[in-house]
Amino acid sequence: MKISVVMPCHNTGPWIQQALQSVAAQTRAAHEIIVVNDSSTDDTVEQIRSSGIKVRFLDTRLGNAAAARNLGIKSAEAEWIAFLDGDDVWCSNHLDRASLACMPHDVACFSQYSRLVDGQPLSPSTTSLAILAGDTRGGIPASRLCENRQGIVNGWPTSGMLIRRDRLLQIGGFDESLKRRHDTELFFRAAHGHTFALQFTPTWHYRIRSEGNISSNLVECTAYFLSALKKLEALYGSEEMKSLVHHQARVALGAAVRSCDREAIETVYKLAEKELPPHWRLSKRFWLSFPRAGVLLRPKTRKTKAI
């Protein structure tokens, strides 16, 4: 199994060398490392060049993480693609364990992770869907992805993905219209009609940071996630996914209301309207007339990195 590593990065100067070193230290060596620098304005490029690690460097001005990853996929030579964000870190056994978890018929593997805060790893995430626990060596049908709401909501970050390149090309790669949550949407779309593997031992660290964090815009994140789920509902056609779409519609509109931003409320309402219960639809006029009332529902600010 040959693996191409695709690393998109944007202003990841403080972390990119550590990310690259974690790839170079893999017990199962990657075939190549493709770094896609997308419009960085800090010292990211200098850090890459001074790392001493051999990479294929692609310098772009796409301004879109999904598009940057798609460029890396098209440029890759190996049969499998492993993604790593420029601020995340793999353990030295990440590629080894992920590749061993895959059976011949699997199209992808997702590996468990732990959160990295101020350089210190925290407890493992629950992203790997406890409901799917059992035999970790592949054979999990994509239909089971819809069975656990919390697992879907937690997301499937790209740094934990190992996916067949031919399958990525077959489905057209990442959806570039999704500024957020295109990672979860891609994994579900790639797995549809196939089986995949889960690797439950944490083998990588997902960095949580707030400075320059694109995920601090909660309204935007919840709205894009709703868009992603609506596309997956059309693909999967399951009652579980339909239920999740209705739930996310309420979450997205609630976030917009709490933002007290009239334009955001109107935008999200238009996106969520068909999935909202009747009493939520009737409340539209109130929230648009008195958007400042949303302050009463505003939760404490919590900044996390986009996934």
Average per-residue pLDDT for the chain? 85
Whole-number pLDDT of residue 207 = 87
- For 70, the token pair is 């798609």
Whole-number pLDDT of residue 210 = 42
Strand partners, 6: 34, 83
**CA–CA distance from 169 to each of 8, 42, 71, 276 (Å)?**
18, 32, 11, 35
Q: How many CB atoms lie within 10 A of CB 185?
A: 23
Whole-number pLDDT of residue 254 = 87
pLDDT tens track for 58-68: 999 999 999 99
Answer left, alpha or beta for residue 11, where phi above 0 means left and psi between -120 and 50 means alpha.
Answer: left
78 or 217, which is more confident: 78
Mean pLDDT lowest among 222-226, 243-247, 262-266 = 262-266
pLDDT of 246 > 70? The answer is: yes
Whole-number pLDDT of residue 300 = 45
Q: How confident is the model at residue 280 (pLDDT cuts 50, 70, 90)?
A: confident
CATH topology of domain 3-209: Spore Coat Polysaccharide Biosynthesis Protein SpsA; Chain A (3.90.550)
pLDDT of 142 > 90? The answer is: no
| Integer Rg of the chain from CA | 20
Q: Domain-by-domain residue ranges, the chain? A: 3-209, 215-297
The CA dihedral of 137, 28, 161, 219, to the nearest 10 degrees, is: 140
Q: How confident is the model at residue 143 (pLDDT cuts 50, 70, 90)?
A: confident
**Among 210, 117, 110, 179, which residue's Cα sits nearest to residue 151?**
110
Whole-number pLDDT of residue 292 = 54
pLDDT tens track for 23-46: 999 999 999 999 999 999 999 999
Whole-number pLDDT of residue 2 = 97
125 secondary structure, DSSP code: P
pLDDT tens track for 86-108: 999 999 999 999 999 998 899 99
111 or 150, which is more confident: 111
pLDDT of 285 > 70? The answer is: no
- Calculate mean pLDDT across residues 156-179: 96
Instruction: Give the Cα separation of 199 and 95 in Å (integer).
Output: 11
Instruction: Give the Cα separation of 292 and 145 in Å (integer).
Output: 38
Instruction: Give the Cα separation of 186 and 214 in Å (integer).
Output: 20
Length of the chain: 307
- Calculate mean pLDDT across residues 52-79: 96
145 secondary structure, DSSP code: G
pLDDT of 7 > 50? The answer is: yes
**CA–CA distance from 137 to each of 94, 97, 271 (Å)?**
15, 10, 39
Edge-to-edge strand list for the sheet holding 204-208: 89-90, 204-208, 114-117, 120-124
- Calculate mean pLDDT across residues 54-76: 96
281 or 305, which is more confident: 281
3-state secondary structure of 198: strand
